[in-house]
Amino acid sequence: MLSIMLEEFPFASLWNTGIFLFIAFAAVIYLFLLPQEKKHSWWKSVCFFLGLMVLFIATGSPINIIGRIQFSVHIIQVVLLCVIVPPLLLLGMKRTILDRALRNKWVTKIVSFLVKPYVSISVFFLTLYIYHHPPIFDKARVDLYGNYFYLLALFATALLLWIPIIRESDWTRTLIYHVVCIGMIVPLAGILLFSKEILYQAYTDLTTFTQALEVCLPAGAELSPQLVLQLLPFEPVAEQQLGGRILFASVLVVFTVSSIIKRQVIKKV
């Protein structure tokens, strides 16, 4: 399947040059335009650039189209975007960016409210569940900009979700926060894992499936019916179940590792 896709889809559809240029621009600003900080260690820069690299993989690489063919790959995309990238970027971010952004008192008030633990958790998981509500998900998949809007919203709210973890200095509150985050993913993972019915028409309805792929093609380009049929050998229910397992396992592992690392950091303070 992958060999067929790589041969039939144009380079511009598989690799998003717009996202690549945006990420490259962010890297240039980080390296050359932001002031150097004495307390900014090399490992923080490594974290930031790893975050940028994974961000491009999640949004600008062929995984974006493969995720429209296999639901389990879409879940991998969500995990990368929401669970892997945010902590890497936040750990590597230079204080100068935050200091300048928070000079405005209204920005400070809004950010302070949004990063309250109960607010950040509520906003992120509400966004996640709304996006994966079947009618909304199916509609977003056939609208290129609509889908990117939801992914951007997920990413932005995921940043808010991770800020309390990184800045919290109390171990008990940190542990509770991690446990709540793991618990909040259980309903969605459970629905995907135990559902015996097809949830998303974007992976089963031929018309919707075709439209979801064609929005990634250059204007006016269409997929041949033969190619579409070749791209549909996957069992939708099995893909949903695999997606549920990947989602739960990824969140469980990452947040468990995060809590262990955070405990060691708090002990050293």
Q: How many domains does the chain have?
A: 1
Q: How many CB atoms within 10 Å of residue 58?
A: 23
pLDDT score for 164: 93
181 DSSP 8-state letter: H
pLDDT in tens, 25-38: 999 998 887 777 77
Report which DSSP code applies to 232. -
Tokens for 100, please give them: 């300048």
Distance (Å) of CA 77 to CA 40, 93, 146:
30, 22, 16
Confidence of residue 5 (pLDDT cuts 50, 70, 90): low
pLDDT by residue (tens digit) across 223-247? 777 777 777 757 889 999 999 999 9
Residue 40's closest CA among 99, 86, 84? 99
**Buried b / exposed e across 213-243, counting CB within 10 Å, b at 16+?**
bbbbbeeeeebeeebbeebeebebbebbbbb
Is the pLDDT confidence value at 1 over 60? Answer: no
Q: What one-letter code names the amino acid at 112?
A: S
Q: Tell me the two tokens of residue 118.
A: 């109960």
pLDDT tens, position by position, 98-129: 777 667 788 888 888 998 999 999 999 999 99
- Judge whether 191 and 241 are in contact, CB under 8 Å: no
Which long-range contacts (C-beta less than 8 Å, at least 24 apart) are formed by 190-193?
190/244, 191/244, 192/75, 192/240, 192/241, 192/243, 192/244, 192/247, 193/240, 193/241, 193/244, 193/245, 193/248
Q: Which domain holds residue 188?
A: 2-268
Output the pLDDT for position 182. 97
Give the torsion sign (CA, 163, 165, 167, 173).
positive
Q: Give CA–CA dist 74/63, Å, rounded.
A: 8
Give me the amino acid identity at 107.
Answer: V
The pLDDT value given to residue 132: 96
- Summarised one tens digit per residue, pLDDT across range 47-92 is 999 999 999 999 999 999 899 989 999 999 999 999 999 999 999 9
Full-model pTM: 0.92
Portion of the chain with pLDDT greater than 70, in percent: 95
